[in-house]
Structure 1
Amino acid sequence: MKIENGYNQYMNAVRQNKDHAQSRGLSPKIEPTEKEESVQVTISDAAKKLSQAKTTETRQADIEVIKKSVLDGTYSVSPEKIAKNMITAMNAQRK
């Protein structure tokens, strides 16, 4: 039993379409792309300090608190809070 991924069939179809387009004078127009200027980004010291504000140690402590409350059965999920944060995130993505 031979298992094929269809790659050869795909390549043959691409070649046939290309040959057909060329024979009818429908070859695709290739336009040169413009070279974009590079952008340089600088991060302020305040932003660097803010990113380091919550270190892995404090994150690990937060994780342990959540784990403990889940195991104790005291962890509660607020659908309203989740929905509010989802809407806030979606609105932020639109901007």
Structure 2
Amino acid sequence: MPPTVQIQFADRLVTYETFMTDLTARLARVIKSDAADPEYVSQRTAYSIFGRKNVDRWRRTGKVKPSKRPGKVEYCMADLRLLQRTEQDYLNQ
């Protein structure tokens, strides 16, 4: 029987199998929740979902770039979701 591989985290030790099972469950949940998202959303929709200050800050810092069409500003929903899930340090800009 091969040795059990374990991963040491700051607060506990888990087996590789447990880690991968938890990771795949989280990924499946994220993929399922994002499946219904449109590819692009209007600026108004982005503001209502993520908050105007967040979207404007991400845009100002270059983390997200809008797509501009005549009379319309749109954002890539996948980029906005990624920023939403990323822990950000707003003091070190």
TM-score by length of 2: 0.26
Question: Which structure is higher in helix share?
Answer: 1
Q: What TM-score comes out, normalization by structure 1 length?
A: 0.26
Q: Which has the larger radius of gyration?
A: 1
Q: Point out the structure with the larger strand share.
A: 2
